[in-house]
Homo-oligomer: A and B are copies of this chain.
Amino acid sequence: MCRSINMNIVISGLGIIGGSMAKAIKKYTDNYVYGINRSREPLDKALACGAVDEAGNEETLRIADMLILGIYPDAAVDFVRKNKDRIKKGCIVIDTCGIKSKICPELSQLAKDNGFYFVGFHPMAGKEKNGFDVSDADLFLGASGIVIPCDVPQEAVDTTAALLRKLGFGMVKFSTPEEHDRMIAFTSQLPHVLACAYVFSPRCIDHKGFSAGSYRDVSRVANINAQLWSELFIENKGPLADEIQTLIDNLELIKKGIEKGDREELARLLHKGKEIKEALGE
């Protein structure tokens, strides 16, 4: 059977996210994928396993119907700025970054000025490890894909959302850069800050034999990609600092309850945790 080719998709950056997008596109759709990567090895691996059809370069952007940026936030903005004249008119450009307020306005303006469409995108999936070697066609199955329309025509949003659903995303959540950054500070950045702060305890190194699932869960993401997350944290400084402070305040509240030693009062405070989880059906 002849499989019709829908779009030429260029993916810049074949790490865990770009690599998984490439693999998922080839597994679940009929689009043609060009891969661009700073170093050669991930690209060779992607070509060898069929995650990309062909090596691309900046000139390939002239025929791209979609450009997916699988690179760090600063690099993503640099890439689009440098190639704004090469990106085909009408091309849909999507990023995959964990912050949005810092990058959406400039990318959106570059798009408007040069006749292509920028749609912000953040896949809520990942692993503790990074790089093409751990990329996976099924990384996104059931995950949420956050989409920031950034004032583009509805058709570009619909095309993006339709592609994401084909790649296995269980939910497409539409949001704004500000809401995204405030929520991500809580759902994703804070747990990473927390995991590091937690394992800094002098007790951590001796935990074996004394620990079980609770230790494992809180500490899991402490094995952090420090370069990437330090960029994400600093570029979302305001919401994240607020969220850390909220957590510190709530830790202080529980600590005071423990020190006061009124068991019923402490139980009432802790019971709120159960109520919140139950209200969420968790």
Q: Mark A182-203, 1 if CB is under 8 A from B, else 0.
A: 1111111011111111111111
Minimum distance in angstroms from A213 CB to a CB of chain B: 8
- By a CB distance below 8 angstroms, the chain B residues around A182 are 203
Given known contacts A237-B258, A248-B248, is B194 in contact with A226 (CB within 8 Å)? no
Given known contacts A126-B212, A207-B183, is B247 in contact with A201 (CB within 8 Å)? yes
Chain A, interface SS category: helix
Is A110 part of the binding interface, using a Cβ–Cβ cutoff of 8 Å?
A: no
A183 touches B210 (CB 8 A): yes
B271 touches A209 (CB 8 A): no
- By a CB distance below 8 angstroms, the chain B residues around A209 are 124, 144, 146, 171, 173, 175
Given known contacts A234-B261, A261-B237, is B273 in contact with A222 (CB within 8 Å)? yes
**CB within 8 Å of B: which A80-130 residues:** 124-126
Central interface residue in A125, A171, A183, A273, by most chain B CB within 10 Å: A273
Given known contacts A125-B212, A251-B247, is B144 in contact with A267 (CB within 8 Å)? no
Is A231 part of the binding interface, using a Cβ–Cβ cutoff of 8 Å?
A: yes
B200 touches A250 (CB 8 A): yes
User: Contacts A196-B270, A197-B247, A247-B251 given; 19 further ones with Cβ under 8 A?
Assistant: A126-B213, A173-B209, A175-B210, A183-B203, A184-B210, A187-B203, A188-B212, A194-B198, A196-B254, A196-B273, A200-B253, A203-B243, A205-B276, A205-B279, A222-B273, A223-B274, A224-B274, A226-B271, A248-B252
* A-B contacts, 6 listed (Cβ < 8 Å): A182-B203, A192-B214, A200-B276, A217-B217, A224-B271, A226-B270
Contact surface of A with B, Cβ cutoff 8 Å: 124-126, 143-144, 146, 171, 173, 175, 180, 182-188, 190-215, 217-224, 226-227, 229-231, 233-234, 237, 240-241, 243-248, 250-255, 258-259, 261, 263-264, 266-274, 276-280, 282
